[in-house]
Amino acid sequence: MHDTTLLVIVVMAALTFDFTNGFHDTANAMATSIATGALKPKAAVALSAVLNLVGAFLSVKVAATIASGIVSSSAISLPIVFAGLLGAIAWNIATWSLGLPSSSSHALIGGVIGATLVSAGHSAVHGHSIVAKVVIPAVLSPIVAGLVAALATRIAYRIADPVGVPGTNRWFRYGQLASAALVSLAHGTNDAQKTMGVITLALIADRRLGANADPPWWVIIACAVAISAGTYLGGWRVVRTMGHRLTHIEPPQGFAAQTSAAAVLLTATQGGLPLSTTHITSGAVLGSGLGKKSAVIRWGVARSMVIAWVLTLPAAGLVAAGLGFIVDDGGTVQIGVVTGCSVVALLAVWLWSRRSPVTAKNVNDYVDPADRAIDDAERPLVEPGHLTGPVAGATGAST
Amino acid sequence: MSSYVDFAVLRNVVIVALVAGVGITAVFSVAARALSAAQEGTRPATGQRVLAGACLAVAAAVVAVGLWAVLAK
């Protein structure tokens, strides 16, 4: 395939990934604010989109670091970047359709690793760096964020005492506007740059930029707009999981979770630790549940989430490896077929998701199945004045 | 293990995140309590408003310093 055509396809794939990153990660900043009613759903995603856009322009320091140290730079080619991006997009779409928060950055890294393994062999992949930069931070970050959030929540309830002092929830809702804005800004600063890094990597691989070049202005603008548009679309399924399914969130918990997540995220960024926004915010939400006495944590949902995190790297890598095997030589037919099949697969998943749509209108209409079972058990089997007895009871339960 | 993890950085992240995350939440909680302590429909007393304002100023200052430190890097 002609280099320019392939480069355009890679750039389009990168921007598509950036878009999926935006809507997949909307929940990171806004789920708790939406769940507590601090912000209306559409207002929340609009605010987050604007702050992601702003955040993307604040710095380009980490743009070139996405794959550095993970794979040999000499092994990177346009087909590898293309296959890696498709693997990451596939994982993002799959986890979104299941409503599971998972790391877009890890999906991207997994994709690049998988495609590189097939194309250049295991010697081009740096196992030590993967453990140090991806695996260990993935384990530690939700634990640290969870601990900080649990402690912050406990202290918030101890000091503010929302039960004993009516009206404190209102102030925590105001506070959530600021804390959610902070997480959105941090997300834009971190995640938009990763796609900028991938496109820059593609431009370097195609010899249109020199090694160690900064992202061109059009790359920065395109990535900022793509992640912002994705955020505005809103990944409502993941928002519902983070805001309702994991634990019931009240305003002090939401504020504590977001503040803790922002603190861990910004501190780690400052210290040069590459952490996943998703892992940090999910850990913080879980911690806010643990920090409140008598709060219910739905461990089944947490378990599914952790399984998704563990599978992110290998699953995205496996898809990218398969695709990398097909497109490695850069043939026009192969890349065309893979691109076409990917578009069809994305449409199929989207259509499947429309069978049970989660939107801005119904994102907060979540009733835990266990609560529903309790409600059903406590509800009288028949309305007063109707027949009583086993047969009538059965009829009443079914209506 | 130490070749995989920079424990000095990790320790700094944990300490600073604890101080900032828990600290901001704590001072904001004091402000929220002070502003909510008045009877419904009445304004908080001057002392409570001053306390709340001071707490909110501290929280905002910590956030501003944190953002500056990250962006300046």
Task: Quote the pLDDT of residue A398.
Answer: 33
Tell me: pLDDT of A27 over 90.
no
A238 inside 8 A of chain B by CB? no
Report the largest interatomic distance among the alpha carbons of chain A, rounded to a whole angstrom.
Answer: 83
Contacts of A259 in chain B (CB under 8 A): 20-21, 24-25, 28
Instruction: Assign A290 a pLDDT band (cuts: 50, 70, 90).
Output: very high
Kindly list the distances between the CA atom of residue A119 and the CA atoms of A78, A79, A80, A113, A333, in Å, as whole numbers in the listed order.
Answer: 11, 9, 7, 10, 18
Kindly list the distances between the CA atom of residue A331 and the CA atoms of A61, A107, A297, A396, in Å, as whole numbers in the listed order.
Answer: 34, 25, 51, 65
Tell me the C-alpha distance between A52 and A72, whole Å.
Answer: 30
Could you say which residues from 9 to 68 on chain B have a Cβ atom under 8 Å away from some Cβ of chain A?
Answer: 9-10, 12-14, 16-18, 20-22, 24-26, 28-33, 35-37, 40, 63, 66-67
Q: Test B71 with A59 for CB contact under 8 angstroms.
A: yes
Q: A297 — phi, psi (to 5°)?
A: -100, 130
What average pLDDT does the segment A280-300 reach?
91
Task: Quote the pLDDT of residue A257.
Answer: 95
Interface probe for B, chosen from A136, A267, A281 (most Cβ of B below 10 Å), is: A267
Mean pLDDT of chain A: 84
In a domain, B29, yes or no: yes
Q: Which residue has the tokens 């320019």?
A: A4
Interior CA angle at A371 toward A370 and A373, to 5°?
65
A252 inside 8 A of chain B by CB? yes
Task: Quote the pLDDT of residue A377.
Answer: 53
Q: Residue B37: which domain range?
A: 7-72
A193 inside 8 A of chain B by CB? no
Task: Quote the pLDDT of residue A392.
Answer: 37
Instruction: Assign A297 a pLDDT band (cuts: 50, 70, 90).
Output: confident
Tell me the C-alpha distance between A209 and A395, whole Å.
Answer: 73
- When divided into structural domains, chain B yields a total of 1
Task: Quote the pLDDT of residue A162.
Answer: 72
Task: Quote the pLDDT of residue A281.
Answer: 93
Tell me: pLDDT of A274 over 60.
yes
Contacts of B10 in chain A (CB under 8 A): 140, 273
Task: Quote the pLDDT of residue A387.
Answer: 41
What average pLDDT does the segment A201-214 reach?
82
Instruction: Assign A368 a pLDDT band (cuts: 50, 70, 90).
Output: low
**Tell me: the pLDDT tens digits for B17-67?**
999 999 999 999 999 998 887 766 677 788 888 999 999 999 999 989 888
Task: Quote the pLDDT of residue A50.
Answer: 94
* Lowest mean per-residue pLDDT among A72-86, A311-325, B21-35: A72-86
Interface probe for B, chosen from A140, A171, A189 (most Cβ of B below 10 Å), is: A171
Tell me: pLDDT of A67 over 70.
no
Task: Quote the pLDDT of residue A142.
Answer: 93
Tell me: pLDDT of A385 over 50.
no
Task: Quote the pLDDT of residue A130.
Answer: 86
Tell me: pLDDT of A39 over 60.
yes
Q: Test B17 with A267 for CB contact under 8 angstroms.
A: yes
Tell me: pLDDT of A390 over 60.
no
Q: Test A128 with B3 for CB contact under 8 angstroms.
A: yes
A178 inside 8 A of chain B by CB? yes
A264 inside 8 A of chain B by CB? yes
What average pLDDT does the segment A323-335 reach?
85
